[in-house]
């Protein structure tokens, strides 16, 4: 028998002597078949059942009240009753298993106010990761700019990337300074949709930046025919690049595309012309005297229907360019539109955080798409 087996045998004999497998106290006095473990002490020390119970209790670390005091004689005595158990403390479940089960069809029962799951990441393409929320702003002359883009509740819950892309950029200097804000939205349920939206913003931004001096002059002189033809040409080139990128990625050109909507804002305080152009769904609104006006222009008859509109900003106006995630509740939910109008009718433009709260996080039942908004306040 090895050492472990011998130790186990000694323990079995000790417990057999303590409790007596045959029953009754007579078994306790039986001589052990093998060397039993006994309490150290004088040879004439008592070896009663109480002594062995005391030894066992001390061995297992019982509380002091449960261990009888040492004594020379083994008079019978009753152990003090254990204290009454306290009322059970209600426990709060924690950890992953404590959350209520998610609806089986893949959407939360109510819109997620905060992010839930991160999108999957490719270790070789970390530059393509899209943050849950982006926020930006600026102030030039008589205009104040606020821009925000946030992942919708549906994408937050499923761990999908935000398909809306947002670009804010300043080009040129002096009177030729031009601010571009671009909003793009990739197609739903299409792999790489967020990359198509990012590419659309980047390419239209590059094209506008290289032509900013001429564009600024045309805006300042109200040369609208030149603006329409020039901006449509730049937009067509952007969509041509998207089709070429689709072939490079092995994707269908009709899938690797995005709705693209832009605002051009001169920084010159003497020029209040605001130019909208783009392709695809979204919204263009103006808040004037507490009421919303839909400024969406008609599309031209081209392979990529092009939209253009130039407006003169008036003090007190607020211009809103947005993706469908915000355009749809504004058009379909009167209460939502009224709440947003009330929030934006304050004498001063909102700060960045209040702007994010009122646009990206103002809830509308059943509307869970990505939401991107660009607000321009005129003073």
Burial of 179 (0-12, 13-18, 19+ CB in 10 A): buried
Q: What percent of the chain has pLDDT over 90?
A: 59
For domain 126-378, the question of CATH label 3.60.40.10 is answered with: yes
> For position 186, what pLDDT does the model report?
96
DSSP per-residue letters across 36-70? -----S-TT----HHHHHHHHHHHTT--GGGSPPP
* pTM, rounded to two decimals: 0.70
Using the predicted structure, report yes or no on whether residue 98 has a pLDDT greater than 70: no
What does the pLDDT look like over 216-237, one tens digit per residue? 999 999 999 999 999 999 999 9
Higher pLDDT, 43 or 117: 117
Query: What are the structural domain ranges in the chain?
Result: 3-66, 126-378
Tell me: the pLDDT tens digits for 164-204?
A: 999 999 999 988 899 999 999 999 989 889 999 999 999 99
The per-residue pLDDT of the chain, averaged, comes to: 80
pLDDT for residue 9 is more than 90: no
pLDDT of residue 45: 44
Which residues contact residue 241 at a Cβ distance below 8 angstroms, ignoring those fewer than 6 apart?
A: 199, 203
Between 84 and 369, residue with greater pLDDT: 369
Q: What is the mean pLDDT of residues 60-71?
A: 50
Work out the pLDDT band at 127, boundaries 50, 70, 90: confident
């Amino acid at each position: 028998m090895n050492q472990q087996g011998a130790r186990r045998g000694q323990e079995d004999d000790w417990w057999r002597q303590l409790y007596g497998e045959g029953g009754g106290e007579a078994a306790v006095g039986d001589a052990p078949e093998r060397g039993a473990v006994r309490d150290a002490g004088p040879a004439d020390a008592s070896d009663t059942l109480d002594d062995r119970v005391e030894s066992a209790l001390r061995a297992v670390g019982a509380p002091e009240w449960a261990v009888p005091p040492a004594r020379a004689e083994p008079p019978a005595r009753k152990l003090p009753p254990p204290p009454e158990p306290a009322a059970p403390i209600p426990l709060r479940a924690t950890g992953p298993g404590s959350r209520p089960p998610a609806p089986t069809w893949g959407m939360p029962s109510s819109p997620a106010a905060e992010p839930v799951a991160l999108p999957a990441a490719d270790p070789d393409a970390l530059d393509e990761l899209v943050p849950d929320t982006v926020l930006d702003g600026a102030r030039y002359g008589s205009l104040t700019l606020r821009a925000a883009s946030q992942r919708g509740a549906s994408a937050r819950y499923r761990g999908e990337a935000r398909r809306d892309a947002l670009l804010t950029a300043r080009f040129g200097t002096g009177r030729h300074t031009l601010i571009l804000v671009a909003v793009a939205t990739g197609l739903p349920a299409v792999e790489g949709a967020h990359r198509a939206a990012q590419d659309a913003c980047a390419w239209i931004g590059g094209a506008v930046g290289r032509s900013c001096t001429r564009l600024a002059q045309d805006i300042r002189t109200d040369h609208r025919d030149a603006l329409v033809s020039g901006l449509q040409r730049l937009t067509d080139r952007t969509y041509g690049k998207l089709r070429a990128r689709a072939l490079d990625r092995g994707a269908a050109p009709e899938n690797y595309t995005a709705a693209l909507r832009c605002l051009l804002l001169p920084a010159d305080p003497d020029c209040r012309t605001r130019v909208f152009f783009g392709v695809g769904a979204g919204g263009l609104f103006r808040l004037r005297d507490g009421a919303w006006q839909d400024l969406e222009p008609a599309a031209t008859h081209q392979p990529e229907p092009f939209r253009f509109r130039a407006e003169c900003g008036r003090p007190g106006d607020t211009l809103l360019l947005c993706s469908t995630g915000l355009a749809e509740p504004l058009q379909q939910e009167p209460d939502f539109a009224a709440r947003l109008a009330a929030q934006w009718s304050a004498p001063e433009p909102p700060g960045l955080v209040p702007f994010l709260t009122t646009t990206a996080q103002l809830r509308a039942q059943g509307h869970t798409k990505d939401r991107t908004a660009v607000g321009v306040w005129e003073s």
